[in-house]
Each structure stands twice: as structure tokens, then as C-alpha cells.
Amino acid sequence: MAAGLLMNFAAWGTNCGRMSRALRDRYGLTDQATAFFDLFAAPPGEFESQAMTVVAGGLARGAEPRLVKRAARLLQGFEKTLLGHAPRSRARVGRHAPARIYLSPAVRGVARA
């Protein structure tokens, strides 16, 4: 699950940051009103290194890399399914362009495992 969170946090954080900015810019919400989104817009300072330590420890104890990857995919699939059922605006019918997310070199290494 640490690998899944590690991979997913970049997309989640990007979406939270976008939502926060949109709510403030388009609807005039205050920083206090968007505090939830601001909180998750960037991972905590040591999150990546701590998650990598957990993943490395699991692999060192014999966790299969394919199962680590599967857990990450399952978490992302759950989120996609959950968000895929959110009501859509009639103005945005059709396919959306995939979000571009930044993955650090360490996270990309986990993604390739």
C-alpha cells in the first residue's frame, strides 16, 4: 500500500491544488474554506523517503515486486472508479486528457518494479 500511496499522491496532490485554486479564483472562497485541498496539495516533507523505506523493507523481506505493483494499481483503480462516478458537467462530454503528473526518480523506480 505504501507504493500505491507513493504513486498516487502526485496525482491526488495535483488535483487538490487545482481544486483549491479554482475554488478561490472562480468562486472567491477563502484560504480557510479551501484548507482541506491545500493540506493535500503537496505531500508532507518526508513522505517520499518514508514510503520508499517501507517499500524497500517489504521487498527486502521477500514481498514480490509484482504484488507491490498490483497493490499500487488497485489503489489507483479504486480512485479512478470512485472519481469516474462523480457527476459530469454537460459541457464536458467526451474524453478528458490524462493528467500530467511528476514522479520523482525514486518513485519512477518503484513504478517500473
pLDDT in tens, 28-67: 999 999 999 999 898 778 888 998 999 999 999 999 999 8
Which residues does 48 contact at the CB level (< 8 Å), separation at least 6? Answer: 6, 104, 106, 107
Whether the full predicted model's pTM is greater than 0.95, yes or no, is no
Residue with cell 514480490: 64
pLDDT in tens, 14-25: 889 999 999 999
pLDDT in tens, 46-55: 888 998 999 9
User: Which pLDDT score, from 0 to 100, does residue 20 have?
Assistant: 95
Which of 37, 104, 108 minimizes the C-alpha distance to 72?
108
Q: How far is CA 70 from CA 35, 73, 77, in A?
A: 32, 5, 10
User: Which long-range CB contacts under 8 A does 24-29 form with residues at least 24 apart?
Assistant: none
